[in-house]
A = this chain, B = another copy of it.
């Protein structure tokens, strides 16, 4: 260590040759808030000199960056890797190619399936990668007690993560249970207490006034859920680092951009939150946020500060996020600060090489803890009610993750309640895939657009049970069994055949395929979907399905334990009781 430092000092002085010299470029200096010419001298993965005088010096490699700009590596301040469907190291490669050097990930999804084992897998799979992935300790596993999760994390688990990975777990992941915080529930306060002195990420959609005061008081110091200027301004004023989110579903960046001023830019950062494979491939990662930010009128140097230095400061990452002596040599070469077209990425002083992104860990064994042979068409039978009643139905709201709690007359055939494609009414089922209980919750959904066959998925927030929708019990059983046998993932079945599938064998959430392979599988699924769907159906049924089992988003949801009236925060039956006294 000290020997290394002595060598680096000698390189800085010019007494020994550098590993790498970036010559002739202009540096986006996020510390000085300006752009200026300088040569960057790199050794041992560290910037050893910011040479303003362009001294002649020996270097093993010289990169001519004349006419180009050098940025620090970009930072995604909050995201769930699982949403990319990529194995963590595959995601890291795709992000790094797009200029990302640091990711603050919340492995909340895999934690709901595998608990600590899942978080430790994510850490192991990304240990030592050129791109640095930090993992926040998930704070809300399980999300509720109205569903069967694969695991739970309590305050002692969080303390263990923080203690075991002091360099890689900066703090507590987004604290979604904001009502619990505001009202001082012991369980969540224990978790906050376990993370005292570390960074605590917030999640406070629509929260304002004294509720927001109380929430922030208790510890959370960031938020990525603002959707309006008014909401974000209050959070900014009250001390939250405001993460401008640009996810695949949630596009908040441009709406919030006018809030950024030179005087407060240090309180902002970018977050992709949930980014799906086609979005990542087509639009990019933090580079996409930068393009949008500049297009929205944010000064380019401020935008780069928000993508680099400022999140590193927030998350306490020492000497990361700027190009200066002693800081890590994460260098992104761009043509300009508008297109952010990337012509080179160096992480820790080394040009990107896909071979350096090999997996570091063995993926966990299959998490499909249910017997496919026990899933049959009969599993999905819904007997007609004894007397004529209205049926509670999840009503899909296009483009949103909320549902409407509709009350509709059932369609009954041969004593069974069945799907009714004419009314865009499909059967919905959620099967416990964690405990082997055989538990299955049944219900109906309107507006999904499926008119033939069935589809199954193991991506179903937050417990990620096996969710199946369809108009035909045979195809529902077929899709479900295939999903189990392939270790989880997406399946589309129709007319007794599996039409398309994508295995997500890592916890039922992530694939071991490349992004290119994922995109092809996605195309296959889209084709199959068109074959079983109405013309006006939502284009991505798996995304819609993924929120139908999430019992914290209003109004009506379905878990393996049955329907949930989210507004009342309790289970409810399928049938509306009339004449209540």
Contact = CB atoms under 8 A, between A and B. Distances in A.
A182 B325 contact: no
Contact of A264 (B31, B197, B212, B326): B31
Interface in A270-299: 299
Contact of A262 (B32, B48, B239, B261): B261
A5 B189 contact: yes
Interface stretch (A120-128, A229-237, A344-352, A504-512): A229-237
A2 B261 contact: no
Interface stretch (A102-110, A132-140, A214-222, A524-532): A214-222
Given A52-B234, A237-B50, A237-B324, A14 B210 contact: yes
Interface in A45-72: 46, 48-53, 55
B266 A266 contact: yes
A87 interface: no
A237 B49 contact: no
A210 B49 contact: yes
Contact of A213 (B50, B239, B299): B50
B1 A216 contact: no
Given A33-B264, A263-B302, A210 B55 contact: yes
A12 B213 contact: yes
A341 to B, nearest CB: 24
B214 A13 contact: yes
Interface in A207-251: 209-214, 216-219, 233-234, 236-239
A264 B234 CA distance: 24
B237 A31 contact: yes
A549 B305 CA distance: 46
A210 B233 CA distance: 43
Nearest to A219: B326
A51 B238 CA distance: 9
A168 B1 CA distance: 27
A412 interface: no
Contact of A184 (B9, B33, B267): B9
Given A53-B209, A219-B326, 11 more contacts: A2-B190, A6-B184, A9-B218, A13-B211, A32-B233, A52-B209, A213-B325, A216-B326, A238-B324, A238-B325, A263-B302
The 7 closest A-B pairs by CB, nearest first: A33-B263, A262-B262, A239-B324, A33-B264, A49-B213, A12-B214, A217-B326
